[in-house]
Amino acid sequence: MPVASNEYFVPVVPSDASVIIVEDNPDNLFVLEILLREDLRVKYYNGRASGRQFFKLLEANPRLYPDLVLLDIQLPYEDGFTVFKNMLNVPQLKNTQVIAVTANVMPQDVAKARELGFNGLIGKPINRNRFPAQITRILNGESVWEPY
């Protein structure tokens, strides 16, 4: 199951990190990819537009153990909350931190993400000045709950 606690967590420096973005909006995906590549210089990143595509990526790459998944909540076919629930059954993700990256920042949305076991939430629009530090803190095992 994704890392809801730090039971299996091992800190990762961004340059060694494997990050998967599940985001259906091409502009938001582009921004996240730029920040990961240029500001954080992550080792590997991959973007997918839906939960279905994300699970197909994992299925096609059984040796892919992402350190972090940045998961949009408003996705086609099924929302990010449903995708997260399905992630809990994937052994390949047991050491993966999952962060909701969303414009859904109402208190009930944040509470739902916490209740389900997300490792944090970052609100959209992404703040380019804060994002690298947020991701670095997450990769160090800190929960980041910053909807604004």
Domain boundaries, the chain: 14-146
pLDDT band at 19 (very low <50, low <70, confident <90, very high): very high
DSSP state string for the chain: ---SSSSS-----GGG-EEEEE---HHHHHHHHHIIIIII--SEEEEESSHHHHHHHHHH-TT---SEEEE-SS-SSS-HHHHHHHHTT-GGGTT-EEEEEES--SHHHHHHHHHHT-SEEEESSP-TTTHHHHHHHHHTT--EEE--
Please state the pTM of the whole predicted model.
0.91
Whether the pLDDT of residue 1 is over 50: the answer is no
Average pLDDT over residues 15-22: 92
Class at the top of the CATH hierarchy for domain 14-146: alpha beta
pLDDT the model gives residue 5: 47
pLDDT the model gives residue 8: 65
pLDDT in tens, 80-97: 999 999 999 999 999 999
pLDDT band at 7 (very low <50, low <70, confident <90, very high): low
